[in-house]
Chains A and B, each alone.
Chain A
Amino acid sequence: MKSSFFCLCLILPLSVLAQEDLLKELEQSSEPPTEYVRQTFKSTRLVNSQTVESKGKGELEFIFAHRFGLINDGLYELFGLDQAFVRIGLEYGLNDRWGVGFGRNSVDKTMDIYTRYKILRQSTGQRNMPVTVSAFVNTAIRTSPRNQDLVEPLNFEDRVSYTAQLLIARKFTNNLSLQLMPVLVHKNTVDRVLENNDQLALGVGGRYKITRSVALTSEYYYRFDVPDENPYYDAFGVGVDIETGGHVFQLVLSNTRGLTERAVITETSGDLGNGDLHFGFNVTRTFQLKKQK
Chain B
Amino acid sequence: MKKIILWVGLGLLIGSTATAQKYISDTGSITFFSDASIEDIKATNSKVTSLLNIASGDWVFSVPMTEFKFDKKLMEEHFNEKYVESEKYPKATFSGKLIGFSPEATGKQQVRAVGKLNIHGVSKEIDVPGTIQLTDLKLAADARFVIKLEEYNIERPKILWKNIAEEVEVTVTFTYKPYEK
Give me the interface of A with B, judged by CB distance under 8 Å: 1, 3-4, 7-8, 10-11, 14-15, 18-20, 22-23, 25-27, 29-30, 33, 35, 37-39, 55-59, 93, 96, 174, 212-213, 244-246, 286, 288, 291-293
Contact = CB atoms under 8 A, between A and B. Distances in A.
Given A4-B2, A38-B80, A245-B160, A22 B74 contact: no
Given A19-B97, A39-B81, A174 B87 contact: yes
B69 interface: yes
Contacts of A96: 73
Given A3-B6, A39-B81, A245-B160, A23 B60 contact: yes
A39 B97 CA distance: 38
A25 B12 contact: no
Interface residues of B, number: 51
Interface of B: 1-2, 5-6, 9-10, 12-13, 16, 22, 24, 26, 47, 49-51, 53, 56, 58-62, 64, 66, 69-74, 76-78, 80-82, 85, 87-88, 90, 93, 95-97, 115, 157, 159-160, 163, 179
Given A56-B73, A59-B73, A15 B56 contact: yes
B72 A19 contact: no
A1 B2 contact: yes
A173 to B, nearest CB: 9
Interface centre among B56, B60, B93, B96 (most CB of A within 10 A): B60
A29 B93 CA distance: 15
6 contacts: A14-B13, A20-B95, A38-B77, A244-B160, A245-B163, A288-B73
B87 A22 contact: no
Interface of B is mostly: mixed
B62 A27 contact: yes
A292 B16 contact: no
Interface of A is mostly: mixed
Contacts of B9: 4, 7-8, 10-11
A243 B149 CA distance: 21
Contacts of A15: 16, 56, 58, 97
Contacts of B10: 7
Contacts of A14: 13
Nearest to B56: A18
Given A22-B95, A29-B51, A4 B1 contact: yes
**Closest A-B pairs by Cβ, 4 of them:** A56-B73, A4-B5, A19-B95, A7-B9
Contacts of B26: 29-30
B6 A19 contact: no
B72 A245 contact: no
Contacts of A292: 69-73, 76
